[in-house]
Amino acid sequence: MKRYIARRLMQGAVLLCMVATIVFFLGRLTGNPVDLMLPEDATPEDRAALTQTLGLDGPVLDQFAIFVGKAIHGDLGMSIRMKQPAVEAFFDRLPNTLVLIPWAILLGMLLGIPLGVVAALHRGSFLDRAAGTVAVLGIAMPSFWLGILLIFVFSVELGWLPSGRMGGPAHYVLPVITLATFLVAGFMRITRSAMLEVMESEFVKLARIKGLSEAVVIWKHCLRNALIPVLTLWGVFVGNLITGAIVTETVFAWPGIGRLTYEAVIYRDFPLLQAVIILKSILILSINLGVDILYAYVDPRIRVT
């Protein structure tokens, strides 16, 4: 297990280097943030001065060397737009996104797993197709569209819920629903297929031979096994959610890292963009590693190897 983790960490480091390099050069291709900071009638002189002030005037390769040198020491530069260390800006906003994600996953699972079980139990029947349709509906709607519709219905027309911003529990409802609908289909599908596989297995037959009740057979013997693949999806889903948060956070004016990333692109805030993508990758990698370790505890077969 230790060797496994060590290997994963090494792989992660390599990945990060790749990601950092790609982001750096891709970012530099996209133009100078100075253009977005100056008014349209600025003089060339003002432009040159500002470029220099921001340290964007050297050759790209030199800039890259400086970036790498600093990055090794954990310094990912200052946000150009906010004049704040980029790492700090990221961690300022990270909690706001992290408070959203567990609820979204929880809601996604609460809807997706029972739907998957029901679909598996009634494979091929009307219920199966109905459950599948409901789940797929979640990925069939663009989330910004869903978000805007939800705001229109629940906050403007009905006045039940606030339309945006962070705040009390009520503020969480719509963003969490928007994020979760996206996950239901995934959870439902994997639960269904895992359940189908498990339900045909010999050990379930043996459980029945023992005379266990159907409830125990399904919800204990089958589901516990079916949950293993569900768990592996977590890593993927958290990654998706962090990316998906871009849209949701924009629609609901949620000051999280999704929104921050989008702003970094739009304002050409290179240091911030680099920092955000690198830190996000670290986040996704560690969540995946965490899920794998957790996986080992749920599935005893992996624990030893």
Partner 1 sequence: MFRHLVRTTALVVALAVAAAAPVRAQDQKGTLVFAVESLGAQTLDPILEGRPGNAVYQAVMYDSLVGFDLEKGGVGPGVAERWELSPDGLTWTFHIRPGQTFHNGDKLTAHDVKFSLERQMGPGSLASAAASMRRTIKSIEVAGDLTVKVQTTSPQIGLPASLSRAVAPEGAIMPKAYIEKVGEEEFRKKPVGSGPWKFVRNVPGDRIEFTAVTTPHWRGRPHFKELVMLLVPEESTRVAMVRTGEAAIASIGPETMLGATRAGLEVLSVPGTMQAIFQFWGTWRPEVKDSPIAKVRVRQALSLAIDRKQVIEHVMNGKARMPYPFATFGYTDFFSADRWKKWADEAYRYDPALAKKILAEEGYPNGFELKFANTALPGTQFMVDIGTAIADMWTKVGVKVTLKHYEWGSFAPLERGDQAPLTGWASMYRTAGRPDAPWRYNGAFSPDSIQRLLGDKGNCQEACQEFEKTYRALGSELDRAKRTALTDHMVEVTANTWTVIPILEGMGYYAINTKKVGQFAPIPGRHELGDVFERIPRPEQKPWKK
Partner 2 sequence: MTPDTSGETVLEVRDLHTHFFLRRGVVKAVDGVSFSLRRGEVLGLVGESGCGKSLTALSLMRLLPKGGARTIKGEVRLGGRNILECTPAEMREIRGRRISMVLQDPQTSLNPVFTIGDQLREAIVRRRRASGVPVMEEAVAALRRVEIAAPEQRIGQYPHQMSGGMKQRVVGAIAISGEPGVLIADEPTTALDVTIQLQYLKLLKRLQAETGMAILFITHDFGVVGRMCDRVAVMYAGRIVECGPVQRIFEAPQHPYTRALIASVPKMTGSVGRLATIEGQPPSLMDLPVGCRFASRCAHVEQRCLDAYPGTVRVGEEHTADCWKVMPS
Partner 3 sequence: MAVVERPSSTDPVAPRLSLWRLVWPARIPGGFRRTSRVPWIPIAIISAIVVMALFAPLLAPYSPIDQTLRDKLLPPAWMAGGSDKYFLGTDAFGRDILSRLIYGARVSLMVALLALTAGGGVGLAVGIVAGYVGGAVDSVLMRLVDAAFTFPAILFALLLAVTMGQGLGTLVTAISLLLWASFARVIRGEVLSLRQRDFVALARVRGCSAPRIMLTHILPNVLNTFMVLVTLNIGVVIIAEATLSFLGAGIPPPTPTWGLMISEGRGRIADAWWVALIPGIAITLMVLSVNLFGDWLRDRLDPRLRQL
Taking CA atoms, 125 is separated from 111, 129, 137, 222, in Å, by 19, 7, 18, 20
Position 215 contacts partner 2 (CB under 8 A): no
Which residue do the tokens 């929880």 mark? 106
Q: Which partner from the list partner 1, partner 3, partner 2, none does 37 bind, CB cut-off 5 to 8 Å by kind?
A: partner 1
Element of type H or E holding 41: none
C-beta of 28 vs 208, nearer to partner 1: 28
Q: Which partner from the list partner 1, partner 3, partner 2, none does 260 bind, CB cut-off 5 to 8 Å by kind?
A: partner 1
Q: Minimum CB separation from partner 3 for residue 168, in Å?
A: 25
**In whole angstroms, what is the distance from residue 150 CA to residue 301 CA?**
44
Query: What long-range pairs does 216-225 form, CB within 8 A, spacing at least 24?
Result: 218/117, 218/121, 219/117, 222/117, 222/195, 222/198, 223/113, 223/117, 223/195, 225/194, 225/198, 225/201
Which residue do the tokens 């280097």 mark? 17
Q: Which partner from the list partner 1, partner 2, partner 3, none does 21 bind, CB cut-off 5 to 8 Å by kind?
A: none
Per-residue burial over 250-259, b if 16 or more Cβ lie within 10 Å, else e, is bbbebebbbb
- Kindly tell me which residue out of 209, 215, 300, 301 binds partner 3, with binding defined by CB under 8 A: 215
Site for partner 3 in 27-56 (CB under 8 A): 27, 29-31
User: Stretches 14-22, 133-141, 200-208, 266-274: which one binds partner 2 (CB under 8 A)?
Assistant: 200-208
Position 5 contacts partner 3 (CB under 8 A): no
C-beta of 4 vs 262, nearer to partner 1: 262
**In whole angstroms, what is the distance from residue 118 CA to residue 130 CA?**
10
In the complex, the residues that contact partner 3 under the rule CB under 8 A are: 11, 14-15, 18-19, 22, 26-27, 29-31, 121, 123-126, 129, 132-133, 136-137, 139-145, 148-149, 152, 156, 185-186, 189-190, 193-194, 213-215, 217-218, 229, 233, 236, 239, 242-244, 246-247, 250, 261-262, 265-266, 268, 277, 280-281, 284-285
